Amino acid sequence: MDVKEIERLIKISKEHPLMPETYIPWHEQPKPEEIFLPEILTSLQGLDIYNTLTDTQKLELGRHELVQVIASYAWGECLFCLFMTRHLLTLPADNVEHRFLLRELIEEFRHQEMFTQAIMQISGKPIKQSGMHKFIGHFSNKYLPADYLFMGSVSVELVTDVYGNYTRKNPQVYQVLRKMFDLHNIEEARHILFTKSLLKTYSAKAGYIKRTLYSYVILLNIYFVRTMYVKREIYERIGMENPDKVYELASKNFKQKFADKCLHDIIEFVDSWKGLNNATRWAWRWVLGAKV
């Protein structure tokens, strides 16, 4: 781990904290022409059925799906905070990793509060995680070793960052949400730099089997995140007929979109330590639709 670099990241975090309370113009209400999620990120855009929706249905689809995305971030970050808190107890207080993780925890808690406030501001009703998501989330958080959990966290941060970039750069999106993703992008960039630096030590020592396992942990984390966004109930809420069928089409459509738009950075990262090999490549193609 590059200690000098981590010291620099700690310094920025302390000297330039971004407070959601003041950084985001919470007093701004959504304007009639503003949307909540870029159309390209919604689960139905790209399907014929999308063209049959009214403007209100399209707007509502984006609102419900955006709520699902940020509620999932908040849940995932809360789980990761649990792990980081336990991990801190294993590190001496003057250790640079310990000190950075304290900054990361502070920032992640602020993010969770920010996501919650945004959900309330747009009258969102997040759909709870499925039993499978809850079980895997809690189980892996409790029993996986630290290096695997950091691999998981960097993969989630890298794919969600792409998602945030689409949203914050789209001038049609409600400005509270754009600023929220701006803030998240700036702080997550530091978390990604730290975790990559930390993981360099682990991946340099890892042989074929360990690299294969790391690759699977990342792949499953991405699959885990992707399946939290598309929800059958949302199609019911916006008054679509046959929500089961719509859900089936949307899941396939979203899998392809996610593969095309969100996987570039994470594939580059995994490839940098040779995590794409004969034992993993097929799974990346099959489970994630990745072109590797």
Which one, 81 or 246, has the nearer CB to Fe ion? 81
Shortest spacing between CB 222 and Fe ion, in angstroms:
16
Contact 155, 218 (CB under 8 A): yes
CA torsion sign, 64 to 65 to 68 to 69?
Answer: negative
Residues 42-61 that bind Fe ion (CB under 5 A): none
Q: Work out the burial of residue 251: count CB atoms within 10 Å of its CB; fewer than 13 is exposed, 13-18 middle, 19 or more buried.
A: middle
**Does residue 191 bind Fe ion (CB under 5 A)?**
yes
How many residues bind Fe ion, per CB under 5 A?
Answer: 3
Q: How far is the CB of 76 from Fe ion (least distance, A)?
A: 9
User: By C-beta, is 58 or 191 nearer to Fe ion?
Assistant: 191
Q: Within 10 Å of residue 183's Cβ, how many Cβ atoms?
A: 20
Q: How far is the CB of 176 from Fe ion (least distance, A)?
A: 17
CA distance linking residue 160 with residue 268, whole number of Å: 15
CB atoms < 10 A from the CB of 171, how many? 8
Regarding 168 and contact with Fe ion (CB under 5 A), the answer is no
Question: Which residue, among 218, 213, 206, 164, has the nearest Cα to 189 in the 3D structure?
Answer: 164
Binding-residue pattern over the window 69 to 108 for Fe ion, x denoting contact by CB under 5 A: ----------------------------------------
- Closest approach of Cβ 236 to Fe ion, in Å? 30
Binds Fe ion by CB under 5 A, chosen from 111, 168, 226, 257: 111
Across the chain, the runs of DSSP E, i.e. the strands, are none
List of residues contacting Fe ion (CB under 5 A): 111, 188, 191
